[in-house]
Amino acid sequence: MKLNISNPLNNVQKSIEIDDEKKLLPFMEKRIGNVVPGDSIGEEFLGYVFRITGGNDKQGFPMMQGVLTNNRVRLLFKKGMKCYRPRKKGEKRRKSVRGCIVGQDLSALNLTLVKKGTNEIPGLTDKAVGKKLGPKRATKIRKLFNLDKTDDVRKYVIGRAISKNGKNRFIKPKIQRLVTEKRLLRKRTLIAKKEKRRLEKKKVIKEYKKVLNKYRNELLTKTDEDAGKKKKVKKSLSKDSQKKGGKKKDKKNLKGAKAEEGKKDGVKKDVAKKDAGKKDAGKKDAGKKDGAKKEVAKKDAGKKAATGSAAASKVKEEKQSKQESKAVKVDKKAPAKPQKEDAKGGKKKK
């Protein structure tokens, strides 16, 4: 197993290859973040204390803090989680990671120096590598050199010399958040411009409100005038309608009076007709009565005539029968002479 030991104080890192598994027994079953003594690694590490910061298994999968297993696990990763860097916005991916418990299947273990021992370790504690660039932020420079707010930070900026095309050059980083007179002036001008814009906007709004109020007042006066005109028109129309209504009422009254007169005349005519009808009915009744009397008289006369004719016919028949009987008697005695008949059908008398 390979041990990657780092010294953050001197900015140095050293890798050690250990083949004996017995030397690694104190590291087994430990988690990321645990502190382990380095005495078992070798005599030069007596008194040294290390903290486990990570590692990789033999297939290259990294150890992940919080996964409490000593084997590999597939997890769904999203932005912000360790051991994953998304390539697209909102991308999620399922990846395999190694648990945070140290085991025999690891190929590399990362350690940081927490406590220095008695002996010096060559390449780890005996040398120091400075930073390429110093602090860039003004507050951090002040903190590094213990400066006040009144002190000029630009004098204490850490730079470095570089050579390019055979020329040496000394460069310094640009200080961020540095408060200077130029920056303060720019800030003041920006604030003044902002205030000027605010006042101009306020003035414009005031003028706009004036124009708007004027327009509203004009509209109100116009609407009042229109309303007055409409009222006048309505009054005139109402007067005309009243006049027309009066005329119509007069016409209606005249028509009503005429209609009433006509009704009265009609009633009188009806009464006269009824009276005339009654008279005619009386005459008709009298005529009917006279006709009935005449008919009765005619019937009586007819009956009398019928009875008279019947009696006459009976008398004639009796006479004829008598004559026939006489003729029969005469025929028996002697031949009878033909007798002349009257125009009435009777026999002439001798």
Q: Is the pLDDT of residue 206 over 90?
A: yes
pLDDT of residue 55: 94
Per-residue pLDDT averaged across 235-255, rounded?
Answer: 68
User: What's the CATH fold of domain 131-178?
Assistant: 1.20.5
* Rounded Cα gap, residues 230 and 147, in angstroms: 85
Residue of 58, 41, 74, 52 whose CA lies nearest to 106: 58
Q: Is the pLDDT higher at 56 or at 163?
A: 56
Task: Give me the pLDDT at residue 44, please.
Answer: 87
165, 189 contact by CB (below 8 A): no
What pLDDT score does 128 carry? 83
pLDDT tier at 161, thresholds 50, 70, 90:
confident
What pLDDT, on the 0 to 100 scale, is given for residue 288? 64
Question: Percent of the chain at pLDDT above 70?
Answer: 78
Q: Which pLDDT score is estimated for 251? A: 66
* Predicted local confidence at residue 284, as pLDDT: 64
pLDDT tens digits along 130-160 = 777 788 899 999 998 999 988 888 888 888 8
Q: Which region among 11-20, 175-184, 226-235, 245-254 has the lowest average model confidence (pLDDT)?
A: 245-254
pLDDT at site 343: 45
Mean pLDDT of 27-32: 93
C-alpha to C-alpha distance for 312 and 317, rounded to whole angstroms: 8
- Say whether pLDDT at 249 is over 70: no
- How many other CB atoms are there within 10 angstroms of residue 107's CB atom? 12
pLDDT digits (tens, 9 = 90+) for 89-122: 999 999 999 999 999 999 999 999 999 888 888 8
The identity of residue 236, as a single letter, is S
Backbone torsions φ then ψ of 82, nearest 5 degrees: -70, 160
> What pLDDT band is residue 349 in, cutting at 50, 70 and 90?
very low
Domain regions of the chain by residue span: 2-130, 131-178, 180-249
Give the pLDDT score at 302.
Answer: 66
Other beta carbons within 10 angstroms of residue 82's beta carbon come to 13
Note the pLDDT tens digit of each residue in 318-348: 777 777 766 655 555 554 455 554 444 444 4
Question: What CA–CA distances, in Å, run from 347 to 239, 328, 339?
Answer: 116, 16, 7
Confidence of residue 315 (pLDDT cuts 50, 70, 90): confident
Max mean pLDDT range (118-122, 189-193, 271-275): 189-193
Q: What mean pLDDT comes out for the span 284-297?
A: 68
Task: Look over the chain and give the mean of its residue pLDDT values, rounded to a whole number.
Answer: 82
Cα–Cα nearest to 95, from 66, 68, 79, 74: 74
Q: How far apart are CA 89 and CA 156, in angstroms?
A: 42
Q: What is the pLDDT of residue 336?
A: 47
Distances (CA, A) of 268 to 47, 263, 281: 151, 8, 19
Task: Calculate mean pLDDT across residues 232-255.
Answer: 68
- Helix H or strand E encompassing 161: strand 160-164
Predicted local distance difference test score (pLDDT) of residue 58 = 93
pLDDT digit string, tens, across residues 40-88: 888 888 899 999 999 999 999 999 999 999 999 999 999 999 999 999 9
Cα three-residue angle 260-265-271, rounded to 5 degrees: 125
pTM of the model: 0.46
